[in-house]
A and B are shown apart, each in its own frame.
Chain A
Amino acid sequence: MAMIVDKETCVGCGACVAICPVGAISLEDKAHIDADCCIGCGACVNECPVGAISPESAVEKKIVENNQGTDLWVITELENGEPVGVTYELIGVASDLAAKAGEHCCAVLIAAEAGDVPQKLIAAGADKVYVIADAKFADYNTDLYTDAICQLVDAYKPSALLIGATADGRDLAPRIAARKMTGLCADCTALDIDVENKVVEWTRPALGGNILATILCNETRPQMGTVRPKVFKAKPMDATRVGEVINFTCENLVTSPVELLQKEMITSATSLKIEDAEVICSGGRGMGCVDNFKVLEELAALFENGTVAGSRAVVDEGWIGHSSQVGQSGKTVTPKIYFACGISGAIQHLAGMTGSDMVIAINKDANAPIFNIAQYGIVGDANVILPKLIAKIKAYKEN
């Protein structure tokens, strides 16, 4: 969707030229948008101080009749039989949105056995829990889970589906969206709801986090989104909450040609997952080489729940594993303390760690953007500074 400029209204200020993420706008007295370059992001529409820019073909999507679906559903993701953090976070935010819109927050549980999980989901804020229990669901499988959820969607017609933006959630959600021919918004970081039309407003970062876009799905149901973990806070568990548990049996569940040969758990006593760590010692290209990451491990070991992570650059170099990558294409972390060592602070990296309580930056370049978001910092070589800092901390702790 290209944008067009109303040349009468345009004052030629150039604000749109500066905001355009793809350089599609030039200034020739008045603003001119190159329709072939324009990606239709709409950044210029909001930036224009005089409201001179609007979408080319204002195809107004009709808002669906509300009877096409009600309630906000959260798809539960399990790890070792327990819901993962983002499931509780999504139930928290979905119950707020549902209350605002006068609907219910429902959790969908697909599992080999339900156990006491439905009660936990209710305690976390779900009004209803749809349970599909079958031994076939012991491990996540795209085909089986898609079929099960689509059958449930057809039977109960939800207004919206919220899925955690985890590896499996982002595998599952587009498959469901394509089957139901509906809109899906990826990796959202903010949510709201238009109470009158019951349209969810999904906000997500795009262009490496350089812009945020609020996306709507007016016409098709269910509205769908994956939501980034650690963005919303789970509600405190309330064991006194009462909810309805609805058991659902799938008919003629598909079989999958994909076979799980082996599953090796990543979590072990020695390696803390970065998303669970309280202190993260993160290294970037400025660390120089893989051997220099040892000093980060040494620093992390000085803290309880401390671990090592890194930027995209060092994952690409193979200095650390992909599961330890912080940023837009890696993980979002919210530790108490984030040491950014030799990390310049590209916006893609910041997208994954600005939720940290405190950032401590060490970088040779005094102008590195990481210092803009750091509470404390040293301009200098992390490989020189860290060993000295570690020695001082050790001496202090021993005293």
Chain B
Amino acid sequence: MNILVCIKQVPDVEKVKFCPETRTLVRDGVENVMNPFDRHALEVALMMKDKVGAKVTCLSMGLPMATEVLKEAIAMGADDAALISDRALAGSDTLATSIALSAGIKHLGQFDLILCGKQAVDGDTAQVGPEIAEHLGIPQITGALKLDYVDDKFVVVRENESSVQTMACAAPLLVTVTKAEKEPRFASIKGKMKARKANIPVLTVAELELDPATVGLPGSPTQVKKSFTPEHPVINSEIINEEDVDVAVDMLFNKLVEAKIITR
């Protein structure tokens, strides 16, 4: 089985803090990491590799430094990796990104299963996976919680707001992953050594024979008109900072009764 995993390098957004006084982002010490959902997608691929045997290839698109997350993927157990990187891709929106990634996937070969994280935590769009599937003309299942391979079919469990659904589909299939069934594995010593030696090819727009008008800024139908920091309304907080817990609970309880939150 041939599996491809799409991986994005993202800023560690959980470490980005907002300073209400200066209304600015505090980003000291914020590093770039593998998108957490992609890490789960990679774990799903590696579990499949462990179970039925598979070659796992990882593909990223980004700045040259994104090779870091691809090396990390190899250290975790991926067999191969490639990076799409080109200045002409700067400013790509999700459609332009999906066009470049699907060209990269076609360039790398035929895959039975393409896995993506449900969404990247910097953009939170969850759009690139399904858009890739459309460009490749293959079916998709989004937000997988479980993926298995039974009788030559992928069996995927996903949920929406009202139900949990079990779906089956033969290869080729693209699946976006919410969560692997177990926590993503750590890199092994052997994997780390392999990653260190790995030579990760960098694919350019020219090598992928992409029309520059379909990628980057020219290929992006959406444009950012403006961006701004969200307003949080200022409210009168009544915060009890009292050492004696019983006194503190009494105070809160009385406030909640006063505010008619607790009624008989």
Instruction: Spell out A's residues near B (CB within 8 Å).
Output: 1-2, 18-23, 35-37, 40-43, 45-46, 57, 59, 61, 79-80, 84, 140, 142-143, 146, 166-168, 170-171, 173-175, 177-179, 181-187, 201, 205-220, 256-267, 273, 275, 322-323, 328-329, 337, 346-348, 350, 354, 358, 360-361, 366, 369, 371-380, 384-385, 388-389, 392-393, 396-397, 399
Q: Which residues of the other chain, B, contact A220 by a CB distance below 8 angstroms?
A: 221
Known A-B contacts A183-B220, A348-B14; the reply to A178 vs B253 at CB < 8 A is no
By the criterion CB–CB under 8 Å, are B131 and A377 in contact?
A: no
Interchain Cβ contacts under 8 Å between A and B, 10 examples: A41-B224, A201-B225, A205-B230, A263-B165, A266-B162, A361-B239, A375-B236, A376-B240, A378-B248, A379-B242
Interface presence of B127 (CB below 8 A): yes
By the criterion CB–CB under 8 Å, are B139 and A256 in contact?
A: yes
A270 to B14, CA, bound (A): 33
Known A-B contacts A184-B94, A266-B162, A375-B238; the reply to A174 vs B126 at CB < 8 A is yes
A157 to chain B, nearest CB (A): 16
Q: Which residues of the other chain, A, contact B94 by a CB distance below 8 angstroms?
A: 174, 177, 184, 186
By the criterion CB–CB under 8 Å, are A262 and B235 in contact?
A: no
Chain B residues within 8 Å of chain A by Cβ, number = 95
Q: Which residues of the other chain, B, contact A388 by a CB distance below 8 angstroms?
A: 245-246, 249
Question: Smallest CB-CB separation from B264: which chain A residue?
Answer: A397
Residue-by-residue, is B162-174 near A (CB-CB < 8 Å gives 1, otherwise 0)? 1111111110010
Option from A187, A263, A377, A380 in Cβ contact (under 8 Å) with B245 = A380
Q: Which residues of the other chain, B, contact A397 by a CB distance below 8 angstroms?
A: 262, 264
Option from B159, B221, B225, B248 in Cβ contact (under 8 Å) with A214 = B225
By the criterion CB–CB under 8 Å, are B95 and A186 in contact?
A: no
Interface presence of B68 (CB below 8 A): no
By the criterion CB–CB under 8 Å, are B237 and A374 in contact?
A: yes
Question: Smallest CB-CB separation from A387: which chain B residue?
Answer: B249
Q: Which residues of the other chain, B, contact A393 by a CB distance below 8 angstroms?
A: 253, 262
Residue-by-residue, is B128-162 near A (CB-CB < 8 Å gives 1, otherwise 0)? 11110111000111110100000000010011111
Option from A206, A323, A375 in Cβ contact (under 8 Å) with B124 = A206
A128 to B31, CA, bound (A): 50
A357 to B239, CA, bound (A): 17
By the criterion CB–CB under 8 Å, are A142 and B139 in contact?
A: yes
B193 to chain A, nearest CB (A): 29
Residue-by-residue, is B4-45 near A (CB-CB < 8 Å gives 1, otherwise 0)? 000000010110111010101101001000000000000000
Question: Smallest CB-CB separation from B134: which chain A residue?
Answer: A178
By the criterion CB–CB under 8 Å, are A379 and B241 in contact?
A: yes
Option from A166, A215, A322 in Cβ contact (under 8 Å) with B178 = A322
A349 to chain B, nearest CB (A): 10
A183 to B250, CA, bound (A): 54
Q: Which residues of the other chain, A, contact B95 by a CB distance below 8 angstroms?
A: 177-178, 181-184
By the criterion CB–CB under 8 Å, are A373 and B232 in contact?
A: yes
Question: Smallest CB-CB separation from B171: which chain A residue?
Answer: A257
Option from A181, A260, A396 in Cβ contact (under 8 Å) with B165 = A260
By the criterion CB–CB under 8 Å, are B262 and A396 in contact?
A: yes
A118 to B139, CA, bound (A): 30
Known A-B contacts A175-B140, A208-B14; the reply to A329 vs B24 at CB < 8 A is no
By the criterion CB–CB under 8 Å, are B16 and A376 in contact?
A: no
Given A177-B127, A186-B123, A372-B20, 19 other A-B residues pairs in contact with their CB atoms under 8 A: A46-B227, A173-B127, A174-B126, A177-B95, A184-B222, A185-B222, A187-B126, A212-B230, A214-B225, A257-B173, A323-B159, A323-B161, A346-B14, A361-B239, A376-B238, A376-B255, A378-B249, A389-B253, A396-B257
A106 to B232, CA, bound (A): 34
Q: Which residues of the other chain, B, contact A182 by a CB distance below 8 angstroms?
A: 95, 221
A346 to B15, CA, bound (A): 9
Q: Which residues of the other chain, A, contact B13 by a CB distance below 8 angstroms?
A: 207-208, 210, 348
By the criterion CB–CB under 8 Å, are A259 and B167 in contact?
A: yes
Q: Which residues of the other chain, B, contact A399 by a CB distance below 8 angstroms?
A: 264
Interface presence of B217 (CB below 8 A): yes
Q: Which residues of the other chain, A, contact B252 by a CB distance below 8 angstroms?
A: 360, 376, 378, 385, 389
By the criterion CB–CB under 8 Å, are B127 and A174 in contact?
A: yes
Question: Smallest CB-CB separation from A176: which chain B residue?
Answer: B134
- Of residues 206 to 264 in B, which have CB atoms within 8 Å of A's CB atoms? 217-218, 220-230, 232, 235-242, 245-246, 248-253, 255-257, 259, 261-262, 264
By the criterion CB–CB under 8 Å, are B256 and A261 in contact?
A: no
Question: Smallest CB-CB separation from B229: which chain A residue?
Answer: A211
Option from B161, B164, B238 in Cβ contact (under 8 Å) with A79 = B161
Q: Which residues of the other chain, B, contact A18 by a CB distance below 8 angstroms?
A: 22, 24-25
A265 to B159, CA, bound (A): 10
Q: Which residues of the other chain, B, contact A273 by a CB distance below 8 angstroms?
A: 161
By the criterion CB–CB under 8 Å, are A392 and B249 in contact?
A: yes
Interface presence of B112 (CB below 8 A): no
A359 to chain B, nearest CB (A): 9
Q: Which residues of the other chain, B, contact A371 by a CB distance below 8 angstroms?
A: 237, 239
By the criterion CB–CB under 8 Å, are B165 and A21 in contact?
A: no
By the criterion CB–CB under 8 Å, are B130 and A347 in contact?
A: no
A79 to B145, CA, bound (A): 21
Interface presence of B80 (CB below 8 A): no
Interface presence of B188 (CB below 8 A): no
By the criterion CB–CB under 8 Å, are B164 and A266 in contact?
A: yes
A146 to B139, CA, bound (A): 11
By the criterion CB–CB under 8 Å, are A175 and B228 in contact?
A: no
By the criterion CB–CB under 8 Å, are B222 and A206 in contact?
A: no
By the criterion CB–CB under 8 Å, are A328 and B124 in contact?
A: yes
A369 to B249, CA, bound (A): 21
Q: Which residues of the other chain, A, contact B119 by a CB distance below 8 angstroms?
A: 329
Most chain A CB within 10 A, of B91, B221, B238, is at B221
By the criterion CB–CB under 8 Å, are A259 and B179 in contact?
A: no
Option from A43, A265, A379 in Cβ contact (under 8 Å) with B240 = A379
Known A-B contacts A175-B134, A210-B25, A258-B169; the reply to A1 vs B253 at CB < 8 A is no
